[in-house]
A and B are shown apart, each in its own frame.
Chain A
């Protein structure tokens, strides 16, 4: 039909042209000719707008399909991914207690997010925290919110961001593994989600946020949550393990992981889920999502190799736990950079992160002697900080023209574009994430300690969290 109209158009134009060009001499167009012309124009307009609507609808459907898939992938990272990864690393008397800490976040944070969390993170508020306009998800509809994602329903965006809010506090649980009361953990992490995570998410991603890359006072590049997710959780983890103290008997009693197999499966699920985390952060099924997907995979692979080589040299043998820890470290480090860097930069970031986090876990932790039981700080805090800074070096405007001048021309992104000043903005993001995590975590731990007490009794710790906190056992091979 469109073709017929296009073919018909020159004929119409020819018939009309004399009328316009030489009104005095040519015979006037008949009424019928004018009507035919008008009909043709209207039909062409309708066809064109139909084609546009069809294209928009296809884009909408494609983007929404990818974003719902990504949301599910990010949930997969918490349960079963993180639950298995952490679960295998503890002693077998604590497996259920450890897995329940992650699973509890899937319940608690979801409810908080629906009631107030989403509003605090993504509502319009100050440059530090959102407002209350989306309380109980008021106004969060099935149509897009152009502030954040113009081609997907806002509820898709809301539920996708919820999955990030779930995994972030769950990451902290690695630091206080095997010794925190379930009740204290539930209260502390619920409050933490509201008073540390939501403000940080708003500052980096929220409209008008202080660190927002588009229009913030310190435009900080954080594609998928290097500062928001990994620095906040990792630094808070460090504060937690310092505040709670070591496990009874650490470091003299044997506390080696009880199942490398579970941890291995968990780490591989994290790797797969991370595609939703990073490539999904493009908020569309776009070429940028492809770029982030490639960067994510490359960094994980390079970091697994980086950690393994470092361990091989240092300890004489490459371990399975080293290889999977390295992969996670690489995924952490590429998170802020994933939507800004080229594939070769991703390989470099991963390799550096693998070796760096290896040094943090093997040497720095041993030197200071703190009991970051499952290395939440060594991997997420250290890797997140490193990644945020490396993003300032490797961000390339050819991948993502994020900075523009008033006329709409693309400006350089990071150091390799010649914009070394971006390192200052990245440092501002890192510093704010560290400060809010340290202060927020200290205050909340103090309150919860006064309220219910943080640690289980030494007897309960000896019996294990499974029995003492849940009246269950993870493994019973006699039944």
Chain B
């Protein structure tokens, strides 16, 4: 099993969600997050005072899939979220040891 964590522009959430559903992904968890990568935020001016906003609003999608779904899922996210500009986000992939469905004790891939 593979965990995929994708940090995205909030404006791309709907497109990514639709692409994932189309790719056959059935479950996901979405977190509202703040952060920055290399683009380091932006500046705002209020009555002449300059404020640097370095933590920007982001959306984080977490999902766990079978190993054979990995590439298809990644391509769905990349295809929907890429604009080619700085700030498009990042995806992290990691291995998952086990999964449990709380309702009936199903384990492993059966629980996904």
Contacts and interface: CB of A to CB of B under 8 A. Distances in A.
Interface of A: 251, 254, 256-257, 311, 314-315, 317, 319, 321-322, 325, 361-362, 366, 375
A290 B77 CA distance: 63
- Classify chain B's interface size: under 10
A446 B52 CA distance: 37
Contacts, number: 25
A362 B46 contact: no
B103 interface: no
Contacts of B45: 315, 317, 319
Closest 7 CB pairs of A and B: A362-B48, A256-B51, A256-B46, A361-B47, A254-B51, A257-B46, A321-B46
Interface in B11-26: none
B54 to A, nearest CB: 10
B47 A325 contact: yes
Nearest to A251: B49
A362 B47 contact: yes
A241 to B, nearest CB: 15
B71 interface: no
A315 B48 contact: yes
A317 B42 CA distance: 15
A256 B46 CA distance: 7
B105 interface: no
14 contacts: A251-B49, A256-B49, A256-B51, A257-B46, A314-B48, A315-B45, A317-B45, A319-B45, A319-B46, A321-B46, A322-B47, A361-B47, A361-B48, A366-B48
Contacts of A321: 46-47
B60 to A, nearest CB: 18
Given A256-B44, A256-B46, A361-B48, 4 more contacts: A254-B52, A317-B45, A319-B46, A362-B48
B73 to A, nearest CB: 31
A319 B45 CA distance: 8
B59 to A, nearest CB: 17
Contacts of B46: 256-257, 319, 321
Contacts of A361: 47-48
Q: Which of B47, B51, B52 has the most CB of A within 10 A?
A: B47
Interface in B44-75: 44-49, 51-52
A257 B51 CA distance: 10
Contacts of B51: 254, 256
B46 to A, nearest CB: 5
